[in-house]
Amino acid sequence: MNHLARELISFAVRAPSGHNTQPWQFSVERDAIRIYPDLSRRLPVVDPDNHALFISLGCALENLIIAAAHQGLSARTDYFPPDEPEQCLRVRLCEGAQENVEALFRAIPARQSNRGIYDGCAINESDLERLLEANPCQSVLVRSFRVGHPDIEPIIGFVREGNIAQFNDPAFATKLVSWIRFSQREASEQRDGLTAQALG
């Protein structure tokens, strides 16, 4: 189990997280893998209630489950079970994957996040409709805007104002800079954070 668990965890830790802080720790015991929040890696300025930190744990869990399914295993997850001494996600594995995850599994090592310009192709209309329909929240309205739509300009202005306000906040700027890796050597040594190249 230990060798297999280490392999599964190697895919789990490729999950996205705020500023690439990787705010998780793992433990392995017989048939269980536990994922713990690492609060020493929290982002109190941009994520004061740890909301994004716990979303990151969910992303690591999803990668773990996909990697397990690729190995022919199914996973049962207990979310913050009361019988655990510390907050954690507890994953128990057993034989018998429930679905084919080959495409998702191949995407894990290929994932990347950057602010570079993509190919500029419009999103397929059917994919866009599926995205809009995926929002189940009645109190939130989701809208799409095509390039050149007149309502985009005010939104760009609001985003610009928000960015200026954030970067004028010394606490935000200090915390962001602490997670930027300014050289390939630094990125290789730290194995976390944001590369200057990825920021654009």
Domain ranges of the chain: 2-110, 125-195
Report CA 83 to chain centroid distance, whole Å.
27
pLDDT bracket for residue 96 (50, 70, 90): confident
pLDDT tens string 153-178: 888 899 999 999 999 999 999 999 99
Predicted TM-score (pTM) of the model is: 0.82
* Of 77, 106, 94, 89, residue with least CA distance to 11: 106
* Range in 34-48, 70-84, 132-146, 173-187 with the lowest mean pLDDT: 132-146
- Residue 118: phi and psi, rounded to 5, are -90, -165
pLDDT bracket for residue 53 (50, 70, 90): very high
Q: How far apart, in Å, do the first and last CA atoms of the chain sit?
A: 41
Q: Is the pLDDT of residue 200 over 80?
A: no
pLDDT tens string 120-138: 788 888 998 888 888 777 8
pLDDT tens string 6-37: 999 999 999 999 999 999 999 998 879 999 99
CATH of the structural domain 2-110, one choice from 1.10.10.10, 3.20.110.10, 3.40.109.10, 3.30.1330.10: 3.40.109.10
* Residue reference for tokens 């990668």: 63
Cβ-Cβ contacts under 8 Å for 102 (sequence gap 6 or more): 70
Encode 129-159: b = buried (16+ Cβ within 10 Å), e = exposed.
eeeeeeeeeeeeeeeeeeeeeeeeeeeeeee
